[in-house]
């Protein structure tokens, strides 16, 4: 039946009342939402206004947002545009929600393959992601499934028109559609969070600058005091780790001769993280301890990928994954090369390792390594800059020690050479000088055996030696004076230059003979006196490569000191022999001046004999006749001894004979 006019008026009245009720409910809901927004904004403002700790501000802000939006989980991340990475700064999980594999503060987020998030950051527009959406990006879908998120709201954080990070909210219990009002609220809050994040970054940069200056000041102060190299390396490593807020690192110095690096100092983290985030993003429980660095450990440098990259680029090397295969896989043409895990540069349990070159006079002599053992936060530019600054300071400190030790060594060597010269020159007897040279040689340079060669008129001869098991087989050996390229001593004499061979039998086959087979390292130093080569000193060692360039220079300085003393002793010996020969001739002449026969006179026994104090002397006797049947006898004693007295004696005899000659 048709509605009456009264029915129509009644229903119109009900509709108007219902509309008013709905409108009132909507207004009440909007009012409540506005109150919540105001409370949230007020709480955020209060947090920023009353808290000085920037990290505390971020923690408070993310908590307020999660509670206001009533979601399961949320976090604030900063964005490093140059590295296409994000860093989780603060997180909050709702007490009543469950989140799989929650993200932790300090977690690094790689964005290179995450186009959806990168687009949001570039366009500065919020995005909503729903797991049920078939058009969802595969990478983001995998990310949501890993953490159990059903819905995500991502809002960019903008400060001074620049995107500096993002706010991300997760709902894990059920799918959720974020309303326009909720998005608007989050955009409003994101402005405040952006300011807070920027302030946190400014504070962090300021604190980092202060920490850097403080650490470098402490290191510089420590380096001004006299310390040994080990103490310097320990001090710099400790200060570096403290400034970077890391707990594990090493100082490795290169032994180029042995083609290895030696861990000189190592500080170990006794409490590394219990779990690590694997490359796929999943937590992996720590299993058996992996390869660890130990003090004194040796790192092979040949075909070591990290070492080759370091020497090629002369810059820091970042090992973002210590278990990466490239660290232990040398170039394809290097066969049978075994490298330790991580290439030897750190522990497998570390998240990442930073290898910084130590330079002394622009030459890379080692590395300062720091290891992140607590989280997977990547090394940023500030970290690398400070670590390299510390490595540079260490290089300066080690260089200063080297200069000091070199100066001290030079002074000590100069004093030693002065003493050597004084001792060697204190005698003119050749045998004494030879023995003193060999005695003092051991103070200057270490050797297993040594020999002194002197050049004669036709040959060079070994006249003294030390350290030989059978000296008689070596002392007395002679060599031709002319140049013999197959004999190293001849090469040294004719070149007038010292020579050193790390394994002499490889170049001179004669040293493979049994008499020389014990010799590995050989050094020859010419003896030059008054610009004339008078011989050489040979120094041997049973170890390969036993002598350095410093040893050669010291041996040469020693040879220059003793050569003159040796030449003086040799000349003195020659003069003594010549004088003895002349005295012998003078004795023979003097004996011819004395009566060669005794006069025979009946009834008289006549005899005469002279025994001079030296080879010749001034005592004499003489027989002469003054007439028939007459015999004269003259006996004289000239004052003095030696050749002068002998000359006066000869003159006396001649004078007597002249006086008694008949007119």
- The whole-number pLDDT of residue 38 equals 54
* Average pLDDT along the chain: 83
Extract the tokens encoding 317: 């090397």
Residue 51 pLDDT > 60, yes or no?
A: no
Torsional sign, CA 621, 623, 626, 631 = positive
Predicted pLDDT at 349: 86
What CATH number is attached to the domain comprising 358? Answer: 3.30.450.40
Q: 252-256, 293-297, 463-467: lowest mean pLDDT where?
A: 293-297
- 46 — pLDDT class (breaks 50, 70, 90): low
Task: Give the pLDDT band (50/70/90) at residue 553.
Answer: confident
102, part of any domain = yes
473, 375: one domain: no
**Does position 193 have pLDDT exceeding 60, yes or no?**
yes
Q: What Cα–Cα distance (Å) separates residue 464 from each residue in 431, 479, 574?
A: 9, 15, 18
Q: What is the pLDDT of residue 32?
A: 63
209: confidence class by pLDDT, cuts 50, 70, 90 = confident
Out of 523, 543, 576, pick the residue that ends a domain: 576
Once rounded to an integer, what is the mean pLDDT over residues 352-374? 93
Task: At 59, list the tokens.
Answer: 């923690």
pLDDT surpassing 50 at residue 156: yes
Q: Collect all residues with Cβ–Cβ distance below 8 Å to 326 and sequence separation of at least 6.
A: 305
Report the residue count for the chain: 663
Taking residues 348-368, report their average pLDDT: 93
* Res 275 pLDDT > 70: no
- The reply to whether 248 and 179 lie within a common domain is no
Could you tell me the CA-to-CA distances from 570 to 314, 454, 576 in Å, in that order? 57, 10, 10
Domain count, the chain: 4
- pLDDT category at 425 given cuts 50, 70, 90 is low
* pLDDT bucket at 518, cuts 50 / 70 / 90: confident
Nearest 10 degrees: Cα torsion 613, 615, 618, 624: 120
The alpha helices in 150-179, defined as continuous H runs, are none
Determine the average pLDDT of the residues in 168-191.
86
Give the pLDDT mean for 99-119. 87
452 vs 426: which has the higher pLDDT: 452
Residues 180 and 243 in one domain: no
**Which pLDDT score is estimated for 280?**
42
* 26 falls within a domain: no
Q: What is the pLDDT of residue 603?
A: 80
Q: Is residue 529 pLDDT above 60, yes or no? A: yes
CB 307 within 8 A of CB 327: no
Same domain, 173 and 46: yes
89/173 same-domain check:
yes
Same domain, 523 and 442: yes
For the segment 170-191, the average pLDDT, to the nearest whole number, is 85
Q: Is residue 4 part of a domain?
A: no
| C-alpha dist (Å) from residue 84 to 77, 107, 121, 351, 537 | 13, 14, 11, 19, 67
Question: Which alpha helices (H) appear in 225-330, and where do they start and end?
Answer: 229-244, 305-313
Given a cut of 80, whether residue 537 has pLDDT beyond it is: yes
Give yes or no: residues 190 and 87 share one domain: yes
CA–CA dist 627, 541 (Å, integer): 83
Enumerate the β-bridge partners of residue 162. Answer: 159
Predicted local confidence at residue 443, as pLDDT: 79
**pLDDT tens per residue across span 624-641:** 887 777 888 888 887 766
Alpha-carbon dihedral sign for residues 286, 288, 291, 295: positive
Which CB contacts under 8 angstroms, 24+ apart, belong to 201-207? Answer: 201/78, 201/164, 203/54, 204/54, 205/382
SS3 state at 417: helix
pTM, entire model? 0.52
Could you give the 3-state DSSP secondary structure of residue 525? Answer: strand
Q: pLDDT digit string (tens) for 387-420?
A: 999 999 899 888 888 777 777 777 777 777 777 7
Report yes or no: 186 and 155 within 8 Å, Cβ to Cβ.
yes
Q: Assess whether pLDDT exceeds 80 at residue 167.
A: yes
Q: pLDDT band at 33, cuts 50/70/90?
A: low
- What proportion of the chain, given as a percentage, has pLDDT over 70? 89
Quick check: is 234 in a domain?
yes
Residue 485 · residue 507 · CB < 8 Å: no
Q: What is the pLDDT of residue 345?
A: 94
Mark whether 367 and 431 lie in a shared domain: no
Nearest alpha carbon to residue 101 among 93, 112, 89, 90: 93
Mean pLDDT of 154-169: 91
Taking each helix axis from N to C terminus, what angle separates 54-69 and 180-224, rounded to the nearest 10 degrees? 160
Does 252 share its domain with 315?
Answer: yes
For residue 569, the model assigns a pLDDT of 72
Does residue 282 lie in a domain region? no
| Residue with the larger pLDDT of the pair 579 and 559 | 559
Q: Does the pLDDT at position 284 exceed 50?
A: no
Claim to verify: residue 79 and residue 193 sit in the same structural domain: yes
CA distance 487 to 502: 16
Residue 101's pLDDT is 83
- 642 and 542 in one domain? no
Q: Residue 7 falls within a domain, yes or no?
A: no
Residues 317 and 356 in one domain: yes
Distance CA 348, CA 341 (A): 7
Q: Is the separation of the CB atoms in 368 and 387 below 8 Å? A: yes
Mean pLDDT of 351-379: 92
Give yes or no for a contact between 264 and 295, defined as CB atoms under 8 angstroms apart: yes
- Is residue 249 within 8 A of residue 347, CB to CB? The reply is no
State residue 288's pLDDT score: 46
Tell me, rounded to whole angstroms, the distance of Cα 172 from its chain centroid: 53
Give the Cα separation of 567 and 455 in Å (integer).
Answer: 11
pLDDT of residue 276: 46
Q: Which pLDDT score, from 0 to 100, does residue 91 have? A: 94
Does position 620 have pLDDT exceeding 60, yes or no? yes
The predicted-structure confidence for 450-504, as pLDDT tens digits, reads as follows 998 988 888 999 988 998 888 888 889 999 999 999 999 999 999 999 999 999 9
Is position 214 within any domain? Answer: no
- Kindly list the distances between the CA atom of residue 439 and the CA atoms of 31, 467, 562, in Å, as whole numbers in the listed order: 104, 11, 12
Share of the chain above pLDDT 90, in %: 29
- Could you tell me if residue 411 is inside a domain? no
Lowest mean pLDDT among 113-117, 144-148, 411-415, 516-520: 411-415
b/e map 152-187, b = 16+ CB within 10 Å: bbbbbbbbeeebbbbbbbbbbeeebebeeebeebbe
Q: Show the domain range for 464.
A: 425-576
Read off the pLDDT band of 258 (50, 70, 90): confident
């Amino acid at each position: 039946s048709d509605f009456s006019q009264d029915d129509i008026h009644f229903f119109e009245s009900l509709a108007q009342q219902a509309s008013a009720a709905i409108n009132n409910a909507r207004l009440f809901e909007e009012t409540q939402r506005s109150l919540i927004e105001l409370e949230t904004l007020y709480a955020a403002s209060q947090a920023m206004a009353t808290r000085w700790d920037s990290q505390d501000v971020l923690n408070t802000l993310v908590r307020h947002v999660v509670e206001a939006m009533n979601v399961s989980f949320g976090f604030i991340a900063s964005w490093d545009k140059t590295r296409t990475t994000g860093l989780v700064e603060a997180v909050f999980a709702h007490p009543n929600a469950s989140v799989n594999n929650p993200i932790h503060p300090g977690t690094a987020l790689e964005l290179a393959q995450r186009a959806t998030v990168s687009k949001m950051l570039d366009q500065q527009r919020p995005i909503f992601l729903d797991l049920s959406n078939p058009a969802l990006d595969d990478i983001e879908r995998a990310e949501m499934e890993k953490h159990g998120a059903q819905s995500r709201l991502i809002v960019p954080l903008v400060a001074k028109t620049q995107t500096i990070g993002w706010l991300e909210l997760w709902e894990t219990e059920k799918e959720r559609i974020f309303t326009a009002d909720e998005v608007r609220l989050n955009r409003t809050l994101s402005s405040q969070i952006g300011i807070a994040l920027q302030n946190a970054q400014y504070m962090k940069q300021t604190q980092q600058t202060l920490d850097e200056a403080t650490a470098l000041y402490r290191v510089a102060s420590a380096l001004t005091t006299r310390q040994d190299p080990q103490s310097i390396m320990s001090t710099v490593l400790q200060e570096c780790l403290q400034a970077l807020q890391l707990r594990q690192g090493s100082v490795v110095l290169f032994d180029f001769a042995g083609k290895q690096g030696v861990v000189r100092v190592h500080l170990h983290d006794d409490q590394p993280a219990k779990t690590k985030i694997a490359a796929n993003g999943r937590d992996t429980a720590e299993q058996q301890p992996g390869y660890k660095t130990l003090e004194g450990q040796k790192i092979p440098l040949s075909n070591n990928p990290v070492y080759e990259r370091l020497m090629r680029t002369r810059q820091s090397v970042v090992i973002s994954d210590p278990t990466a295969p490239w660290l232990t896989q040398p170039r394809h043409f290097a066969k049978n090369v075994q490298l330790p895990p991580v290439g030897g540069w750190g522990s497998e349990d570390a998240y990442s390792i930073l290898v910084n070159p130590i330079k002394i006079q622009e030459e890379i002599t080692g590395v300062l390594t720091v290891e992140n053992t607590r989280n997977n936060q990547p090394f940023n530019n500030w970290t690398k800059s400070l670590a390299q600054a510390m490595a540079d300071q260490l290089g300066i400190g080690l260089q200063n020690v080297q200069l000091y030790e070199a100066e001290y060594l030079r002074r000590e060597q100069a004093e030693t050479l002065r003493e050597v010269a004084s001792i060697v020159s204190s005698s003119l007897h050749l045998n004494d000088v030879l023995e003193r040279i060999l005695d003092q040689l051991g103070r200057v340079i270490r050797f297993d055996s040594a020999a002194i060669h002197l050049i004669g008129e036709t040959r060079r001869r070994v006249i003294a030696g030390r350290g030989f098991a059978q000296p008689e087989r070596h002392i007395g050996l002679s060599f031709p004076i002319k140049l013999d390229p197959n004999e190293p001593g001849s090469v040294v004499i004719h070149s007038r230059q010292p020579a050193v061979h790390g394994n002499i039998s490889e170049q001179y086959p004669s040293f493979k003979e049994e008499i020389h087979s014990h010799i590995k390292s050989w050094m020859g130093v010419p003896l030059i006196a008054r610009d004339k080569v008078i011989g050489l000193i040979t120094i041997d060692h049973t170890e390969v490569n036993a002598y350095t360039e410093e040893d050669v220079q010291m041996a040469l300085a020693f040879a220059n000191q003793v050569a003159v003393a040796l030449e003086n002793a040799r000349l003195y010996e020659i003069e003594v022999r010549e004088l003895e020969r002349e005295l012998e001739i003078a004795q023979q002449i003097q004996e011819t001046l004395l009566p060669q026969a005794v006069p025979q006179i009946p009834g008289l026994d006549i005899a005469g004999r002279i025994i001079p104090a030296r080879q010749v002397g001034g005592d004499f006797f003489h027989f002469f006749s003054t007439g028939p049947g007459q015999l004269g006898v003259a006996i004289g004693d000239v004052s003095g001894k030696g050749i002068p007295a002998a000359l006066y004696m000869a003159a006396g005899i001649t004078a007597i004979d002249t006086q008694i000659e008949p007119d």
